[in-house]
Every structure is written in C-alpha cells, then in structure tokens.
A and B are shown apart, each in its own frame.
Chain A
C-alpha cells in the first residue's frame, strides 16, 4: 500500500496499525487470451473512501466485480474482514453468502427490479437473505429510503422514477444488508449531470458517516474532494496511487499524467 507519509495524521496512524478491511493480493483476471487485470495489490482500511479512475478498458469495473466475486479472479486472493477467498477454488456457498452480505454494490445501470415496488426492491434481500420478518424489513427499508430522500416513492414502481431517483433507490437497496463495504461501479455515468448531483450528494453523506467505499468513477471533482485516496488504473494495472489531492494535482508517472491531461485539458 502506498500513501504519502507527509499526510499521515495520528488518527490515520492508529488505523494503519489495525488489519485493513479489504486486501487484494496479486489479483489476475483473464478472459480467454485477454488479460484484464495483471497483478493488482490493494488494501482498503475501514472508513476509507477510495476512488478508482482511468481510461476505458483499464480494468476498473473488472476489479470491483472481482471483489464481490461477480467475476471470480483467475488467480490471487481476496481477503475481506478476515475471510479469505482464493482464486481457483470454488468458494463455499456459506463463504460466498457472507461475502455478499458484507459488500454492497451499486451498478451503472441501476438494475432495480422493475416488477417490484421500490419498497419491495429494498426489502426483498432483507427477508430472503437475512431472514427478517416483512414488517421489520419494510420499516428498515423506509428508514433507508428516507435517508436517500425517497420515502414518498416507496409504493411506486422503478419505471416511474427518474434515473437519479432509481440510483438512489439502488443505493438504499445495497445498504439494506448493512454492508461493511460499498462498491460503486460508475454510478453516475448513465445520468444527466443534474441527476448525477443528487446521487453524488447521497454518496458524500455516506462517506461523511464513515462508510468504507470504493468508487469507480469519471467524476474527477468527486474523486478529489470526497475520497481519501485515488487510484489510477490503465491496461489492467495500477499506475498511480496516493492521497487524492496529491495524485490529481501532481501525478508522478507518465501514464497518469497523460490520462489526467486528457481529462483536464479538454
């Protein structure tokens, strides 16, 4: 793990001493002959917000999906809250379930269940996965929907909500299982800039309340202002990593400089 020593504070030193929430060791992912991830090592501490940026095809989304095993890595190890999952071994149903409950994911295309009401979208996993009773689940769902500002949409169907609203509901759905880690896969890329703002506001609030988050995004301002750490990926590798302001303003590698130029000097 890298991070500029000059920016460490006493609080951060304390946390560095404890075990990181997530550890990725030598993650490789191959699709046939194509190598999407070429050896990724990453650690994320509790309450940390990490932004991953980079050109398309750099493997950012693939990395995220390797964490919650939507794409099992070809080789390497994923350790989450002490539970290790080795690549190549079929994870036990138990381990997989525990992983999925600890990690929430928000998708670029929201993926809400269109045939269920908003409330049911948020309650379903609570009932089926956590075994909560319907009344309890619905109560918690309403709390979460209030938190993202959409309690009034509870009895409607997702199709009647705007993109920004749907994404906020998706966030509520992911939060319903009380995850320790939230993964965001380009959450605002399918949204108009204005609708994207409401989603970013919710994500900002989550970060301020201490949620551990990994966000793949093209939103540079968000990456710099909300995240603690920024990672730049290209061609399946991490090419730059460090404290957000440092990486965004003063990248050290050529590849990172090239990417940030393309983004900033349009």
Chain B
C-alpha cells in the first residue's frame, strides 16, 4: 500500500499538469460554448428561414456526432481545408461546438419554462421583442437553466478526456504516457480516476443541492 502511495506521490505532479490542461480546455469550451448555446437557442426559434436552418443543422450535428469525431474532424480534418490549429485550439473549437449544441436545448427548455403570462405582460406594456427578452424572459429562463448547465459543465470536464485522441497533454494522456513507461497502468489510471472523482463527485452533489434550493424558491 505504501509502495502505491510512493508511486502516486512520484507521478502526481505530472498528472496535475495534465489536469490543469483538462480544466483549461473545459473552461475555454464552456466560455465559448454556452453563449453559443444561447444564440442557437434563440436562432432555432427565428422566423427567418436562414438563421433557423443554420442553427438547426449546427445543433443536430453538434449533438448527433460523437464528441470524439468532432475533435478528430477539427484536428485532423480542418487542415485539409487549409485551417491547421493546435490541439488546444482544435479541442476548444470542437468542444465549444458540442457545448453550444447541447446547451441550446437546455437553455431553450429554460426559456419555455417561463410562464406565458410574462411574455404577454411584457408585450402589453409595450416592450419591444428584444427588451422583453433581455429584461423579462432571459433573467427568468436562464435562472431555471443554471443547475442543468452546471451539470453539463461537469460532463464537459469528463469529455475533455477524449482530447487524448488529438494529442492534447491532458490528464488521460499523461496517465497513459506514465503507464506505458512504467508498465503500471493500473496504478496510474487509478490515480487519474481518483482525480476526476475528487472533482466530479462533490461537484455533482453541489448541483443536486443547488437544484433543491432553487426549487424551493420557485414561484
């Protein structure tokens, strides 16, 4: 047992470096993807055909294709079309697309949860469509979306593990390299799994608690 702990202690710094990259790419993807999700959520409801169709296609592909394929498409495929990005940039782009697609559904559901009377009252007092959205609908709708968005963010951190396949030096990549050098795959993967668990388990419990609290204050 103590031998295992020594092993872990020796390789923990490398894994933590990897974890830092995982967290960084997740953060960038969310920062790009969630605003994209809001735009897509509004665009799919547009009355104009062009934005609606583009948004629908973006969402269907972002949600329908495996994240791994999106990653490989961006990293290996885009260079064919003349756009060669680093693995971090490719990962951010692909995961942002994925995030935007999934969160557009989450946000859309949140906006629909706003009582219809709110939209009517906003219209009746003469607020323009944009003002109604900005001052009345979005503040209420986004509030409903917060717990599922947090939950999704946790899933995104896990999805960052797929960036192994596009040579991003994140946590799983580091673990794999250490494993292939020391042949102690089990031990190092155990530690890697532990690192994910230590973040995701409390985070998941926090989201459940948040859901309960927000549910209590519902009107």
Most chain A CB within a 10 A radius of its CB, from B115, B125, B219: B125
B51 within 8 A of A: no
Contacts of A70 in B (CB 8 A): 120, 123-124
Contacts of B135 in A (CB 8 A): 113, 116, 124, 128
> A113-B136, A114-B140, A124-B135 are known contacts. Are A107 and B126 too (CB-CB below 8 A)?
no
Name the prevailing secondary structure of the A interface residues: mixed
Question: Complex: how many Å from CA A143 to CA B184?
Answer: 76
Contacts of A101 in B (CB 8 A): 126
Contacts of B120 in A (CB 8 A): 70, 107, 111
Question: Which residues of chain A (84-126) have a CB below 8 Å from chain B?
Answer: 93, 97, 100-101, 103-105, 107, 109, 111-116, 124-125
Name the prevailing secondary structure of the B interface residues: helix
A165 within 8 A of B: no
A128 near B131 with CB under 8 A, answer yes
B13 within 8 A of A: no
Contacts of B140 in A (CB 8 A): 114-115
A114 CB to closest chain B CB (Å) equals: 5
B117 within 8 A of A: yes
A37 within 8 A of B: no
Contacts of A100 in B (CB 8 A): 123-126
A109 near B123 with CB under 8 A, answer no
Question: Which residues of chain B (85-136) have a CB below 8 Å from chain A?
Answer: 115, 117-118, 120-128, 131, 135-136
Question: Complex: how many Å from CA A116 to CA B127?
Answer: 15
A57 within 8 A of B: no
> A107-B120, A115-B140, A124-B135 are known contacts. Are A177 and B125 too (CB-CB below 8 A)?
yes
Question: Complex: how many Å from CA A111 to CA B127?
Answer: 14
The interface on chain A, measured as residues whose beta carbon lies within 8 A of the other chain's beta carbons, has a size of 27
Question: Complex: how many Å from CA A105 to CA B127?
Answer: 13
Closest to A93 in B: B128
Closest to A129 in B: B126
A73 CB to closest chain B CB (Å) equals: 16
Contacts of A176 in B (CB 8 A): 125
Partner of B125, one of A93, A114, A116, A129: A129
Closest to A115 in B: B139
- A residues near B (Cβ < 8 Å) are 68, 70, 93, 97, 100-101, 103-105, 107, 109, 111-116, 124-125, 128-129, 159, 170, 173-174, 176-177
Q: What are 7 A-B pairs at a CB distance below 8 A? A: A105-B124, A111-B117, A113-B135, A113-B136, A129-B125, A173-B125, A174-B124
- B residues near A (Cβ < 8 Å) are 115, 117-118, 120-128, 131, 135-136, 139-140, 143, 219
Given contacts A113-B122, A124-B135, 10 further A-B contacts (CB under 8 A): A93-B128, A107-B121, A111-B118, A111-B121, A113-B121, A113-B135, A125-B126, A128-B127, A129-B128, A129-B131
